[in-house]
Amino acid sequence: MHWTKTFDEERLWILLRCFLALLVSVHGWHRLFDGTVLTFAENMQGQIFAGYFLVLVLQAMELFGSLLLASGFFVSILSYGFAIIYTCAIYFYHSRFGWFQSGGIENGAEYAVCLVMCFLAIGLRYQPSRIFAWRSYWRPRLASSLAKQTQTRGVGIDHALAGLKGERSVGGATKLAVLSWQLLRWTVLILIAIHVVHRVVTGSVQDMVLLMPSFLPQPTWIAIAATILQGLALTTIALGRHQRCAYFCLIALNVLALVFHHAQQGWIVSGSDKDGMEYVALLTVILLLCGIDQTRLKKRVNVNPTIVVGSELV
């Protein structure tokens, strides 16, 4: 059995959903045990109307909404809610510090933007076919999962997918699935590309060198090589060439960054003065999911070259 069968599309989305729930819940519980909820609320009240209420909503969403999200209940509604919350956080807080967050001590907008895009992708992927079918929001399932479940009960896959009104399903995927995967893919590629372009244009490769551990030989050349590898990997993915190798190359570079730099700074990035692991870990998970999906896509295309698998129509 091919190893990608262990990671079907539903399991990939569950992994992303649970990881995002972990990320946001850590902030909620950290704020609660650190005793900074009231301070945070007072700061927000001084900036916007109903700041106390908004912080209460944020705290409840991060503490309890994250549990529901990881459990698979009200996934689309909660995802859209989180996307709105972090969009407000970008407008009222992160925008004052510019864009960059990874690689420095500023609370820029890039991590929050990544969270918003991820939540939008999850919301779209779990969006019920009929908007006002309220029962479908309780515990939504992916179209491909419903089709497989129906097939095991003696009903053909095509008939099952035809019953999903409002969606055009081919080979177990939907238009919303294509949009969701493309949103994830281009989000992570653009976020990484911004760092690469910034280093090249401003000549700030030396800033990357300063973050490296002292025992590494020739850190300048390592930083230059890493920048070149990132640029080549991003280019090949954008051109649709050797995408699996490019994804796993970017994953390897991120893992090295996590081990040699971010792990020493702790976990939290947003709201702290440290360059922790959470943002780069999220980018790594997204790259991993895209790489696995691309591997699944390649294998399925060898069987049927006219199917929609996960993120693309081939």
Of 174, 177, 152, 176, nearest to 163 (Cα)?
174
Residue the block writes with tokens 């609660």: 32
Of 113, 34, 163, 93, nearest to 283 (Cα)?
113
Cα–Cα distance for residue pair 200/215, rounded to 1 Å: 25
Rg (CA), the chain: 21
Strands 308-309, 312-313: pairing is: antiparallel
Please list, in sequence order, all residues whose beta carbon lies within 8 angstroms of the beta carbon of residue 169, skipping any fewer than 6 positions away.
143, 147, 161, 162
pTM: 0.83
pLDDT number for residue 202: 87
* Torsion angle in degrees (nearest 10) through CA of 268, 181, 109, 57: -70
pLDDT number for residue 162: 41
Cα–Cα distance for residue pair 41/60, rounded to 1 Å: 13
Per-domain residue ranges of the chain: 3-313
Tell me the pLDDT of the chain (314 aa) as tens digits. Answer: 454 555 678 889 999 999 999 999 998 998 888 888 888 888 888 777 777 888 889 899 999 999 999 999 999 999 999 999 999 888 888 888 888 876 555 678 899 999 999 999 999 998 877 666 666 666 676 655 544 444 433 433 343 334 433 333 333 346 778 889 999 999 999 999 999 999 889 888 887 887 787 788 888 899 899 999 999 999 999 998 889 999 999 999 999 999 988 888 888 876 666 778 899 999 999 999 999 988 887 766 555 555 444 444 33
Distances in Å between the Cα of 176 and the Cα atoms of 72, 126, 144, 179 are: 18, 9, 12, 5
pLDDT number for residue 89: 87
Distances in Å between the Cα of 121 and the Cα atoms of 77, 112, 279 are: 12, 14, 17
